[in-house]
Amino acid sequence: MNSGDTAFMLVATALVMFMTPGLALFYGGLVRQKNVLGTMMHSIFCLGMVSIIWVIYGYSMAFGPDIGGFVGSLDWIGLKSVGLAPGPYSDTIPDLLFCAFQLMFAIITPALISGAYAERMKFSAFLLFTALWLTFVYLPVCHWVWGQGGWLGKLGALDFAGGTVIHINSACAALAAAIFMGKRKGWGQEALHPHNLPMTILGAAILWFGWFGFNAGSALSAGKTATLAFFTTQIASGCALMSWVVAEWIIQGKPTTLGAVSGAVAGLVAITPAAGFVGPLSAVIIGIVAGALCYSVIFLKTRFGYDDALDVVAVHGAGGLWGALATGLFASVYWNPDGANGLFFGNPIQFLIQAAGAGASIAYSLVLSLVILKIVDTVIGLRVSEEDEIMGLDLSQHSEIGYTQ
């Protein structure tokens, strides 16, 4: 046990918790005024529901004793045998602290998906979808990569802070939801404008701040690797901010603030799997590519006609996939001896392992998410009625309004 590491991880855990309200602000500003509370509730409610699931069986299924490399067993149900002494995942912090840190990841991941089905999902359907998705998609995929005995981890896939587990995983669910649920009323005909961009900018700032806990904290100790992850996080995010803005300036003629914060988040997503494995100059390249790439993927939804309302697929899907592959290109044992070398450092196999890991989670998450959506749609119906959609989620689902008239 190490008190420095424990203090650092307590703070990092609180920082990651703060990202979920940050996400609520980020998404809340992007929707129309009549849906601001309904949209923020999707994130805020996860702080409650996922906490309960985590204690009862979630942590056990993600990190408990391995079953065939696929999922953790229910042996640790109710956090049985998870105590205050260091556990199997770290020698220097209490087992319960690792459990708390991982809980914050499990909270924000289903909240990320909500950007895709924003402005049209029934609250009851959101509850059931989130509980089922967490149980049958997040917990197994988390086990594959980070759980002891998980098959992707054993294969040697590198995912420092969750590019595959969190971002690719949630973006595939987002794509499935956007396609399965159909478009918002008025999509392509009326302007579905963001109603409060300063709120979105504040939310992005909170996400960025919290991301230092997310990435640096994934080192699980206050030392060299945490410092590397901290620094690459800042550099990649800043570079992606620049490259998104420059790309849209060239293509559409104006640099926008929404472009700046979207680029920053895209950079944070892309560096997430690589943060503790790559050097600062690699982070520059990862960031520059992330900004321009995610900006260009924005246009796919218009071309293919799926209504991913808040661009989860472009930002978290494209950014997460690029980050997972980039880890296989730029990882270097010079920077982290516990990692591996990537393609550019003489180890092409690592790139293939990264691609296999990303591909497996894409396939699994897409298929399972569609099955879960179908079940929820059959049992309670996913979409609000047309009348409720026009009225807005705030009034129709929660009997509140965000702003007095």
Q: Which residues bind other proteins (CB under 8 A)?
A: 191, 193-194, 248, 252, 254, 256, 258-259, 262, 295, 298-299, 302, 311
Q: How far is the CB of 245 from other proteins (least distance, A)?
A: 12
Q: How far is the CB of 194 from other proteins (least distance, A)?
A: 6
User: Which of 143, 348, 102, 336 lies closest to 231, judged by CA?
Assistant: 336
Residue 213 CA: distances (Å) to CA of 18, 75, 338 = 10, 29, 20
Query: Do 24 and 117 form a contact (C-beta atoms < 8 A)?
Result: no
Measured from the CB atom, the residue of 302 and 385 that comes closer to other proteins is 302
Quote the CA–CA distance of 14 and 211 in Å, as a whole number. Answer: 11
Q: How far is the CB of 384 from other proteins (least distance, A)?
A: 23
Q: How far is the CB of 352 from other proteins (least distance, A)?
A: 33
Q: How far is the CB of 129 from other proteins (least distance, A)?
A: 25
User: Which of 135, 129, 127 lies closest to 181, judged by CA?
Assistant: 129
Quote the CA–CA distance of 381 and 178 in Å, as a whole number. Answer: 15
Q: Is the dihedral of CA 340, 346, 350, 351 positive or negative?
A: positive
Measured from the CB atom, the residue of 283 and 314 that comes closer to other proteins is 314
Quote the CA–CA distance of 33 and 37 in Å, as a whole number. Answer: 9
Quote the CA–CA distance of 180 and 184 in Å, as a whole number. Answer: 12
Query: Do 327 and 342 form a contact (C-beta atoms < 8 A)?
Result: yes
Q: How far is the CB of 189 from other proteins (least distance, A)?
A: 11
Q: How far is the CB of 215 from other proteins (least distance, A)?
A: 25
Q: How far is the CB of 110 from other proteins (least distance, A)?
A: 23
Measured from the CB atom, the residue of 106 and 294 that comes closer to other proteins is 294
Measured from the CB atom, the residue of 73 and 252 that comes closer to other proteins is 252
Measured from the CB atom, the residue of 245 and 393 that comes closer to other proteins is 245
Q: How far is the CB of 188 from other proteins (least distance, A)?
A: 10
Query: Do 62 and 54 form a contact (C-beta atoms < 8 A)?
Result: no
Measured from the CB atom, the residue of 80 and 193 that comes closer to other proteins is 193
Measured from the CB atom, the residue of 137 and 201 that comes closer to other proteins is 201
Quote the CA–CA distance of 394 and 391 in Å, as a whole number. Answer: 8
Measured from the CB atom, the residue of 261 and 358 that comes closer to other proteins is 261
Question: For 277, how many CA atoms within 13 A lie in the half-sphere containing its CB?
Answer: 29
Measured from the CB atom, the residue of 138 and 295 that comes closer to other proteins is 295
Query: Do 317 and 174 form a contact (C-beta atoms < 8 A)?
Result: yes
SS3 214: helix
Buried b (16+ CB within 10 A) or exposed e, 24-40: bbbbbbbbbebbbbbbb
Take residue 245 and report the two structure tokens written for it: 């803005």
